[in-house]
Amino acid sequence: MQAPGSEHTRSARVSVGETAVENIVLRALGERRIATAGARIQMTAFSARLPITFDTRLSVERISYQPAGSRFIAVLAATGGDDTAQRFTVAGRLLQTIEMPVPVRRLQAGEIIDAEDLQWVSLRDRRVSTRAVQQSDDLIGRVARRTLPAGVPINATDVKRPVLIDKGAAVTVILEAPNMQLSVRGRAMEDGAVGQSIRVANLESRAVVIGVVTPAGQVAVRDLITPAGGDRRRSR
């Protein structure tokens, strides 16, 4: 299958290098509407020692691509100012990559992740778990649940929000209803992070409710208090 001729003029007298070839092959594949954003080329066959001068044009004359295995074969031409072309063949694979945030150092369990603890690396998409966190904002401020090795993508289950309310701590429970808001004192029955639902016992009635931890360190409840030992309705 043919791709439109892609030309690339070099401005230095050097031998044809893999970088120049990779760039023009990626461009030719892109012209065939093959996804190349963030991709790179892995050469499996490449041999060219052709001098490129100021007026040399590097172009792709033919290229074929097999989606199964993401493999390609291309015939390239280096054309000089006298329009004499020297041709050579390259073959390889198109590797799709993903930019991922990974620890720049080994992080211990219980450490809070800061921006300086992360770096961006380009990884092959097939080697990245679907559970891996792809945005640094989803990691910064989180706590490592286990030891996190440097340079390895972090799974969503490897981190958690910092605990804001400790189990057994006295908390203010905000009971919300249409046109009404009440506050009572309660005791947390489990640890809680911001946005997490936890169980809280009313200090006076001992009734148990389930509410959501707020950034202010309170527990917001939109359901009625239920008797201890009775059915508990989770807040919405």
**Buried-exposed string 152-161: b where 16+ CB fall within 10 A, e elsewhere:** ebbeeebbee
**136 and 57, same domain (yes or no):** no
| Any domain includes 51 | yes
Domain boundary among 160, 184, 204: 160
| Any domain includes 234 | no
**10 and 73, same domain (yes or no):** yes
Q: Which two tokens stand for residue 58?
A: 């590097």
| Any domain includes 59 | yes
| Any domain includes 191 | yes
**20 and 87, same domain (yes or no):** yes
**14 and 88, same domain (yes or no):** yes
**77 and 23, same domain (yes or no):** yes
**11 and 80, same domain (yes or no):** yes
| Any domain includes 231 | no
Domain boundary among 52, 77, 95: 95
Q: Report the length, in residues, of the chain.
A: 236
Residue 221 contacts by C-beta under 8 Å, 6 or more apart in sequence? 173, 174, 175, 176, 200, 209, 210, 211, 212, 235
Q: Is the pLDDT higher at 10 or at 109?
A: 109
**195 and 210, same domain (yes or no):** yes
Domain span at residue 68 reads 6-95
pLDDT tens, 157-208? Answer: 999 999 999 999 999 999 888 888 889 999 999 999 999 999 999 998 889 9
Residue 130 contacts by C-beta under 8 Å, 6 or more apart in sequence? none
Residue 30 CA to residue 104 CA, distance in Å, equals: 33
The CATH number covering residue 216 comes to 2.30.30.760
- Indicate the number of domains in the chain: 3
**109 and 91, same domain (yes or no):** no
Task: Indicate the burial class of 28 (C-beta count within 10 angstroms; 0-12, 13-18, 19 or more).
Answer: buried
The CATH number covering residue 146 comes to 3.90.1210.10
| Any domain includes 122 | yes
**13 and 73, same domain (yes or no):** yes
**70 and 14, same domain (yes or no):** yes
Find the range with the poorest average confidence among 104-108, 176-180, 210-214: 176-180
| Any domain includes 233 | no
pLDDT tens, 40-99? Answer: 888 777 665 555 554 567 788 889 998 888 888 888 887 776 677 788 888 888 888 888
Q: Is the pLDDT higher at 154 or at 6?
A: 154
pTM across the whole model:
0.57
**72 and 21, same domain (yes or no):** yes
* pLDDT interval class at 16 (50, 70, 90): low
| Any domain includes 174 | yes
**46 and 121, same domain (yes or no):** no
Domain boundary among 71, 95, 119: 95
